[in-house]
Amino acid sequence: MNIHEFQAKQLFAQFGIPVPNGKEIRTPLAAEKWAAKLNASVYVVKAQIHAGGRGKAGGVKLTKNCAEVPALAKELLGRTLVTHQTGPKGRKVRRLLVEEGADIAKELYLSLLVDRDSGWPIFIASTEGGMEIEEVAAKTPEKVLKEPVDPAVGYQGYNGRNLAYGLGLPALEPTILGSFIALLDNLYRLFMEKNASLVEINPLVITQDKQLVALDGKMSIDDNGLFKHPDIQAMRDLHEEEPLEIEATNNNLNYVKLDGNIGCMVNGAGLAMATMDLIKLAGSEPANFLDVGGGATKETVAAGFRILLKDRNVKGIFINIFGGIVRCERIAHGVIEAAKEVDIKIPVVVRLQGTNADEGRKLLQESGLKIEVATDLWEAAQKVVALTGKKRKKVEAAS
Amino acid sequence: MSILVNKGTRVVVQGITGKEGSFHATQCKAYGTQVVAGVTPGKAGQEVEGIPVFNTVRDAVKKTQCDTSLIFVPPAFASDAILEAADAGIRLIVCITEGIPVNDMVRVKRALRGRDVRLIGPNCPGIITADECKIGIMPGFIHKKGRVGVISRSGTLTYEAVNQLTTLGLGETTCIGIGGDPIIGTGYVDLLAMFEKDPETDAVVMIGEIGGEAEEKAAAFIKQHIRKPVIGFIAGITAPPGRRMGHAGAIITGGKGTAAEKMAALEDAGVIVVRNPAEIGKTVQGALSPRGSV
């Protein structure tokens, strides 16, 4: 789960990582009151959306004039920001972070994540703060420093020194060494205690008066660890999620919306991805990823159907089930029930294989519903693409 | 021969009195696996389908000489269960549980390092040696003794591939689901090395997916050390970056972990990469037949 910058900074503050004095703002009036209280030399008004690239997209405003803050807030609130991470539709700004500006002497990059290969947490740091780290890694890999932390003993001072000297910090600013090492210690504690999968501070700045400040903050929490943290669960912002994905989550389904026009419903994540790939190979594009899981029931299949049909791009449906623990006749019952409930006007191809597949296919064939039944995977994919294509052509001819 | 497990493997099921645990313990036993013990704290003295239940893995090992553990414990307690098994002297731990926090696995993986124990999973379907021993949740009936080894990050996609192999009459030696999580106990490399040494395995099917760099690492190893034919499939060519596709580990981050990169790395290592998941079996058949006969 991703959280907003202002929420990440609240957690930073709780763990002793210095952040600018700031507050979450939802109205221009609140902005006015907070700015007056803040009484800073520079005010920063930042749009809060779950996407990077906000600065370039005009989502971050600066002013030295306290009186201008409400107007800047008004300008940003309700605006749709399009960044390289939001997609062309962009994200509507509903919340702001209004904070004091910093007098920057030097910008650094710092993040912490788990290295999948070794299974160790690893700090990544660079002197090239404020830039995207992938870009720095591609152009100047020598400027990206990595410091793994042995999880058996946790963060040690030497981890911090390795990075500090590697970055040339003591030469740059001798007084900063101690606070840098302490900041990394706090960051590691935050990461482990809150089950983070990524904490990124970009930039981490050294101010003119030689203080370290986390000027930006990004944090993702491991979904599997969320159950331990009601405080972080409360930070979930449903506006940042696709409505169909929320509905899917509420029905214990794993759904990701895509841009194609063939909706797919599959049991198992790997097979679901392979099915999407197969649709592309057959000449069309998948409308979604939908994994109904190993324990699919009539109810989950029906819920999956409803979600697929709510996506207006969906012009055909491909259900691909490999019955292992899940018995195919149960899936067939679910499909029949759901199909009776909702009036399905688009082609549906169901491919059943594995446990009780024959029985499931027979149920579907005898249901009287307009459902194409298949056994062979490739044949089924080609069929759904062919049927969907025809349908689309007809619509075009009619209009 | 086969790898890791066979007729002689003695299994303890941790979490055996739960819904999943009891169902699958029964299924494994019916397949012919020696399920000799179960563990659920507080339930010692009970039986599940004739399998004695113990309070601790230590007791189970002492009384039944079990050497392999199959774990169905809920995510919040699964890391504890893995470490308990390791401490009790279990040599192979198969963890089915999905949803274990990554940080828990960070600690578990570190604790198991350097010890004489192997972890398969978590978040995996388990391991099966066809017609001998099933330690997991896969449907047994699709497997048939044969000459192909299977290693996969997925569940049902593995069943799909296995079903193709069986239908074509090729059959399998051992099939291992290594798990869909970012941090897993055993990766491709160790298993590829075992299959290379197994005289009964003639070819290996390797099923990967987006996320991480495990397939790239496997490719480098194959290039150096594997002489048997390897047939690879990577799921997720249509997956968008930055989105988690069901499995906790299936996510393209910072432009890394794409299907295209993985396919390229595997092809460079001499792996036959299948584009169409419906043609995995046929491709293996082609690779195994003497030149020109198919």
For the stretch B128-166, pLDDT in tens is 999 999 999 999 999 999 999 999 999 999 999 999 999
Q: List pLDDT tens digits, range B232-268.
A: 999 999 999 888 888 888 888 877 899 999 999 999 9
Contact B251, B211 (CB under 8 A): yes
Same domain, A279 and A185: no
Q: List pLDDT tens digits, range A117-172.
A: 899 999 999 999 988 888 888 899 999 999 999 999 999 999 999 999 999 998 87
- B8: DSSP letter: T
**Tokens read off for A203:** 């930039």
CATH 3.40.50.720 fits domain B10-120: yes
Render A175-225 in DSSP notation, one character per residue. Answer: GGHHHHHHHHHHHHHHHHHTTEEEEEEEEEEEETTS-EEE-S-EEEE-GGG
Out of A73, A101, A129, a domain closes at: A101
**Which residue from A237, A174, A330, A272 is spatially nearest to A7, judged by alpha carbons?**
A237
Q: Is 80 exceeded by the pLDDT of residue A13? A: yes
CB pair distance less than 8 Å for B155 and A254: no
Alpha carbons A347 and A145: distance in angstroms, whole number: 53
Average pLDDT of chain A, as a whole number: 91
> Mutating which of B151, B156, B165, B280 best tests the A interface, going by the most A Cβ atoms within 10 A?
B156
Locate the chain A residue with the closest alpha carbon to B74.
A224
Alpha carbons A361 and B41: distance in angstroms, whole number: 43
Contact A21, A99 (CB under 8 A): yes
Q: What ipTM, to 2 d.p.?
A: 0.92
**Which residue from B45, B54, B125 is spatially nearest to B90, judged by alpha carbons?**
B54
Residue A222: its chain B contacts at CB < 8 A?
101-103, 248
Is A165 near chain B, with CB under 8 Å?
no
Q: List pLDDT tens digits, range A181-220.
A: 999 999 999 999 999 999 999 999 999 999 999 999 999 9
- The CATH 3.40.50.720 domain(s) of chain B lie at 10-120
Same domain, A211 and A121: yes
Is A224 near chain B, with CB under 8 Å?
yes
Same domain, A111 and A227: yes
CA distance B73 to chain A (A): 15
Contact A288, A255 (CB under 8 A): yes
Alpha carbons A98 and A79: distance in angstroms, whole number: 16
CB pair distance less than 8 Å for A222 and B103: yes
**Tokens read off for B25:** 């313990």
**Which residue from A187, A195, A216 is spatially nearest to A51, judged by alpha carbons?**
A216
A176 phi, psi to nearest 5 deg: -85, -15
Strand (E) positions, chain B? 10-14, 34-39, 47-48, 51-54, 68-71, 92-95, 118-120, 126-129, 133-136, 145-152, 172-177, 203-209, 230-235, 272-273
Through-space distance between the first and last CA atoms of chain B, rounded to whole angstroms: 28
What pLDDT was estimated at residue B116? Answer: 94
Average pLDDT of chain B, as a whole number: 95
Contact A313, A346 (CB under 8 A): no
Render B28-71 in DSSP notation, one character per residue. Answer: HHHHT-EEEEEE-TT-TT-EETTEEEESSHHHHHHHH---EEEE
Parent domain of A108: 1-19+103-240
Number of domains in chain A: 3
Distances from the Cα of A321 to the Cα of A309, A387, B106, B247, angstroms? 18, 20, 33, 17
**Tokens read off for A226:** 């969320």
Burial class (CB in 10 A: 0-12, 13-18, 19+), A312: exposed
**Mean pLDDT for the stretch of residues B184-189:** 97
**Mean pLDDT for the stretch of residues B113-134:** 96
Residue A324: its chain B contacts at CB < 8 A?
125, 137-139, 155-156, 159
**Tokens read off for B250:** 């299936």
Alpha carbons A232 and A239: distance in angstroms, whole number: 16
User: A98 has which bridge partners?
Assistant: A23, A45
A164 phi, psi to nearest 5 deg: -60, -50
Q: Is 60 exceeded by the pLDDT of residue A352? A: yes
What residues of B act catalytically?
247
Residue B154: its chain A contacts at CB < 8 A?
268-271
Q: Amino acid letter at B206?
A: M
CA distance A368 to chain B (A): 29
Closest to A294 (Cβ–Cβ): which among B142, B155, B250?
A: B155
Locate the chain B residue with the closest alpha carbon to A121.
B106
Same domain, A3 and A60: no
Alpha carbons A290 and B281: distance in angstroms, whole number: 25
Q: Amino acid letter at A319?
A: I
- B162: DSSP letter: H
Same domain, A366 and A384: yes
Out of A189, A216, A240, a domain closes at: A240
Q: Tally the C-alpha atoms within 13 A of residue A331's C-alpha that lie toward its C-beta.
A: 33
Q: Is 60 exceeded by the pLDDT of residue A299? A: yes
Q: Tally the C-alpha atoms within 13 A of residue B164's C-alpha that lie toward its C-beta.
A: 20
Task: Give me the residues of A, 58-87, that contact B with CB < 8 A.
Answer: 85
Is B101 near chain A, with CB under 8 Å?
yes
Out of A182, A212, A240, a domain closes at: A240
Alpha carbons A45 and B194: distance in angstroms, whole number: 58
Alpha carbons B222 and A219: distance in angstroms, whole number: 37
User: A264 has which bridge partners?
Assistant: A318
Confidence class for position A387, pLDDT limits 50, 70, 90: very high
Alpha carbons A68 and A316: distance in angstroms, whole number: 52
What pLDDT was estimated at residue A395? Answer: 43
Length of chain A: 399
State the CATH number of the domain containing residue A268: 3.40.50.261
- The CATH 3.40.50.261 domain(s) of chain B lie at 138-288
Contact A317, A349 (CB under 8 A): yes
Better pLDDT: B1 or A35: A35
Q: Classify B194 as helix, strand or coil.
A: helix
Locate the chain A residue with the closest alpha carbon to B181.
A116
**Mean pLDDT for the stretch of residues B122-129:** 96
Same domain, A126 and A172: yes
CB pair distance less than 8 Å for A116 and B212: yes
Same domain, A334 and A226: no
Q: What homologous superfamily is domain B138-288 in, according to CATH?
A: Succinyl-CoA synthetase domains (3.40.50.261)
Give the full edge-to-edge strand order of the sheet including A316-323: A254-257, A288-291, A262-266, A316-323, A348-354, A371-374
Q: Which residues contact A225 (CB under 8 A, 6 or more apart)?
A: A194, A195, B101, B102, B103, B104
What pLDDT was estimated at residue B291? Answer: 58
Confidence class for position A293, pLDDT limits 50, 70, 90: confident
What pLDDT was estimated at residue B159? Answer: 95
Alpha carbons A12 and B43: distance in angstroms, whole number: 44
Same domain, A307 and A343: yes
Q: Is 90 exceeded by the pLDDT of residue A89? A: no
Residue B237: its chain A contacts at CB < 8 A?
277, 280
What pLDDT was estimated at residue A135? Answer: 87
Alpha carbons B163 and B117: distance in angstroms, whole number: 31
Same domain, A236 and A251: no
Q: At what angle do helices A177-193 and A5-14 cross, to 10 degrees?
A: 110
Q: Percentage of chain A with pLDDT > 90? A: 75
Same domain, A192 and A307: no
Q: Which residues contact B68 (CB under 8 A, 6 or more apart)?
A: B5, B9, B10, B11, B12, B90, B91, B92, B93, B94, B135
**Tokens read off for B274:** 């299948």
Q: List pLDDT tens digits, range B8-39.
A: 999 999 999 999 999 999 999 999 999 999 99
Q: List pLDDT tens digits, range A219-273.
A: 999 999 999 999 999 999 999 998 999 999 888 899 999 999 999 999 999 999 9
CA distance A13 to chain B (A): 22
Task: Give me the residues of A, 331-360, that contact B with CB < 8 A.
Answer: 353-355
Same domain, A229 and A338: no
Closest to A119 (Cβ–Cβ): which among B99, B110, B160?
A: B110
**Tokens read off for A21:** 């004095």
**Mean pLDDT for the stretch of residues A56-83:** 95
Task: Give me the residues of B, 207-236, that contact A with CB < 8 A.
Answer: 207, 209-210, 212-214, 217, 233, 235-236
Q: Is 80 exceeded by the pLDDT of residue A397? A: no
Question: What Rg value do the Cα atoms of chain B yield, rounded?
Answer: 19
Question: What Rg value do the Cα atoms of chain A yield, rounded?
Answer: 26
